[in-house]
Structure 1
C-alpha cells in the first residue's frame, strides 16, 4: 500500500505546551509559531524533536508523504534499546501487505512479537475482563498508550462510535491505522508524549479513559493518573491495566510499585488481580474484585473507577457478533508453539492455563473465550 496524504481535520488537538492547534495546510497543524506534521491522518505532536518535526513537515510541503512517513517511523520511545532500521527497510514497510511483514521491516523485535500475538496473551484477556466489567456505556473512549490499537479495534467492532488513541511512538499508530483498525472505524489517532501537555481537546462530557500495559514505565505516575481522571470527568471512568507489582518476581520490569501504592493513586477504584481477570475471560464470566492478600501476591493489578457506575457488558468478553474467526496462529501445525523464548518466559506460564498443548480434535463451546479461535485483522 502506498502512502497518500490524508487531509487534516480540525479535531481541537492541543500542542505539547497546551496551545490550541489549527490546520494551516492539508497536511500540517500550527500553533501560530510551530508547524506539526499530520501523516495518514495522525498528528505528530512530540516535543523536543524539532529537527525531526521540520524534516517531516518539509517532506509533506514537497509533496512527499512517503518521505515524511519514513522519517517518523524511525522515531522511538526512550525505553527502546534496539537499533533503528535503515531507511530502505522503512520505505519497504510502506508496501507491506501484512502486520507480520511490517513489524519485521520496522525492526520492532519483541514489540512486534507482542503486537502480533497480543490477541491471546494473558494481559489481553485481562483487558477484556476489565473493560467488560467497567464498559464505556456510550461515552467517548480515550486509550492512552494505545500501541497498535488492539483495544480500539475491539471496541470499534462492537459499535462504539467515538474512539481516540494516543501513543508516543508513531510507528505503533501507523500499524494501527494500516493493519489493525477496521478501515471505516471512527478512530482518531494522535502521536504525543503524555508526560508533556496532553493533546486532548476539552471534553464535552464524561469520557472512558483507559491505559493498559504502559503505566509502569512512567516515572511520575501520580501526575499521569490525576490527568487521566481529569480527562474522564466526574461521571467518567478510568481503567488502568497491567500495573506491575514490585513484590512479584515477574512484575519487576519497568518502574513498578507495590500493590498498595498503585491503589493509592486512584482512590475509590475497584482493584483486581490480573490472574483473576485473565481467568474470568477464559471462563466467560465476570471478574471478582481482589482481596488485599490477592493484590499483594499478584503479578500485576487492574484498577477501575467509574463515576457513573455503568453496568457490566459481558458481550465485550467476546469478539463482536458476525466477526470472522480463525485458528490461533500459535497452533499453525496443531501443536502449541510460543513465538519465542522471551514471550514464553513472560506469558507462557499463564497462557498455558487456557491454551492446551495441542489443538483439540473438537474445539468446545469455550474455544473463543479461551482464545483458540481469534478475530484477527484481515491482514494479520
Structure 2
C-alpha cells in the first residue's frame, strides 16, 4: 500500500515523485519531521528554473522568524518577491475585485494553485468559516501555514498536482472554487476547469483570475490563450478585463463586465460563473475591519522603491497609478484601497 507523508498538517500527494515520497515517509517513521520537511521543501514545480537550496539552508528555513527570511533561505527568487509584495500588485487588486463581485456567500472555498495563501488569509479575516488551499509546491503551502495564515485559521492545505488525479473528495454542498494567476501555466486547461466545475457542484461558483491574453504584449508568459479561448472554457461566465478589475478595486467599487472590445485589448481576462448568483460583497474589496494596517514596505524613507527590475517591469506602470512616488503628507481614508496601508501578516 502506498503511504503519503503529512508534514505541518499538509498532506503531500504528488503521484510522480516516488523517491521524495518514500524519503519523507522514512523520515517521519524515524521520528524526524524536520527531515521530512527538508525533503519536501526542496521540491518545485516543472516550470521552476532556479537553483535548489542546500539542505543546510532548508534546515535554517525551519527556524526562520519571518516570511522575508524564509523566502530568502528557500531561494524562491522571483516567486519569493511576488509573495512578499503580492498585497501591492495590480493582479491582487483584480483578484479582490473579482471575488467581491462573485463572493463565497457562506459556501466553502477551494483555492486552486493557492500559493502562499494570500486570498485564503483575506477571506478568513472576513469571516470565511471553511476553506481549502491546493498547490503543487509544498514550500508555498508551508509558507502559508507558517507565516501568512493566522494561527488556527479554518484552512486545510493539500499539496497535489491539479493535472493528475483530483485531490479533493466530492461534496454534496456547493463550493466556491477559485484559481488566480495560475491556469495559464497548465497545458490541459479544459480538464482543470471541468474538474473545478465538478468540485463546485450545483449551486457552486468558479472564478478564474488573471488569464493571460496571448494577443497582448504582456501576456506571453506560460501557455496563454486569446480571450475567446478563455471564455470558451467557462461558457456563460461573466468576463472582465484585468485593468477594469484593478481600477475598480482602487476606487472601492464593483467592476463592470467587459465587452468584446475591452477583452480583446486587455492584458489578462477574469471569468466568474456562479450558479447561485450570490449577491456582491463590496466589503471584500477592503481589509477586514479588525485587521491592523501597516505602511507599505515598498516605501523607504518616504520614497517608493520597486523590489526589483523584474517586478517593476511586470507591475510598476500600473501600480504607479495608485502608489505615488512619495509617501503623502496625509495618506487619507483611501490609503488601504490605494495599498499605502496593508494588512500584512504579523510575521511578514
Q: Residues of 2 paired with 1:363 and 1:305: CA distance?
A: 37
Which segments of 5 or more consecutive residues in structure 1 lack a partner in the other structure? 1-32
Partner of 1:18: none
Which residue, 170, 174, 179 being the options, matches 2:142?
Answer: 174
1:99-114 equivalences under 5 Å are 99-114=67-82
Say whether 1:162 aligns with 2:130: yes
Match of 1:115 in 2: 83
Q: In structure 2, what is the equivalent of residue 325 of structure 1?
A: 293
Task: Give the deviation of 1:187 after TM superposition.
Answer: 0.2
| 2:68 paired with 1:68 | no
Of 251, 258, 271, the residue aligned with 2:239 is 271
**Could you tell me how far 1:234 is from its partner in structure 2?**
2.2
Residues 275-294 of structure 1: pairs in structure 2 closer than 5 A? 275-294=243-262
The two structures, once aligned, show a CA RMSD in angstroms of 0.5
Equivalent residue in structure 2 for 1:141, among 85, 106, 109: 109
> Following the alignment from structure 2 to structure 1, what is the Cα–Cα distance between the partners of residues 172 and 56?
44
Residues 1:132 and 2:107 are matched in the alignment: no
Q: 2:203 is matched with which residue: 235, 256, 261? A: 235
Superposed displacement of residue 332, structure 1: 2.2
Instruction: Verify: 1:375 aligned to 2:343, yes or no.
Output: yes
Q: What is residue 245 of structure 1 aligned with on the other side?
A: 213
Other-structure match for 2:326: 358
Distance 1:135 1:48 in 2: 35
Residues 73-112 of structure 1 aligned to structure 2 (within 5 Å):
73-112=41-80
* Structure 1 residue 336 corresponds to structure 2 residue 309: no
Task: Verify the 8 A CA contact 2:116 2:144 in the aligned structure 1.
Answer: yes
Shift of 1:141: 0.2
Question: Which runs of 5 or more structure 2 residues have no equivalent in the other structure?
Answer: none
> Alignment partner of 1:303: what SS?
strand
TM norm structure 1: 0.91
Could you report, residue by residue, the CA deviation over 1:169-198 in whole angstroms, capped at 9, with x for unpaired residues?
Answer: 000000000000010110000000000011
Listed one character per residue, the Cα deviations across residues 130-169 of structure 1 (whole Å, up to 9, x for unaligned) are: 0000000000000000000000000011110110000000
The alpha-carbon deviation at position 74 of structure 1 amounts to 0.1
For this pair of structures, how many residues does the alignment match? 348
* 1:150 aligned residue: 118
- Preserved contact between residue 90 and residue 319 of structure 2 (Cα < 8 Å): yes
CA distance in 1, matches of 2:172, 2:151: 26
- Cα separation, 2, equivalents of 1:240 and 1:152: 15
Extract structure 1 runs of 4+ deviating beyond 6 A: none
- Tell me the SS of whatever aligns to 2:151: coil
Local SS of the residue matching 2:156:
strand
- Equivalent-residue separation in structure 2 for 1:294 and 1:67 (angstroms): 51
Q: CA deviation at 1:232?
A: 0.4
Question: Which of 18, 23, 37 is 1:55 aligned to?
Answer: 23
SS of residue matched to 1:71: helix
**Equivalent residue for 1:220?**
188
Say if 2:172 and 2:201, in contact at 8 Å, map to a contact too: no
Note the C-alpha offset of 1:204: 2.6
What is the distance in 1 between the residues matched to 2:132 and 2:216? 33
Kindly state the Cα deviation for residue 365 of structure 1 after the two structures are TM-superposed. Answer: 1.4
Give the distance between the partners of 2:319 and 2:269, measured in 1 at CA: 17
Instruction: Give 2:226's aligned residue.
Output: 258
TM-score, normalised via structure 2 length: 0.99
C-alpha displacement of 1:96: 0.2
| Cross-structure match for 2:266 | 298
Counterpart CA distance in 1 for 2:62 and 2:84 is 18
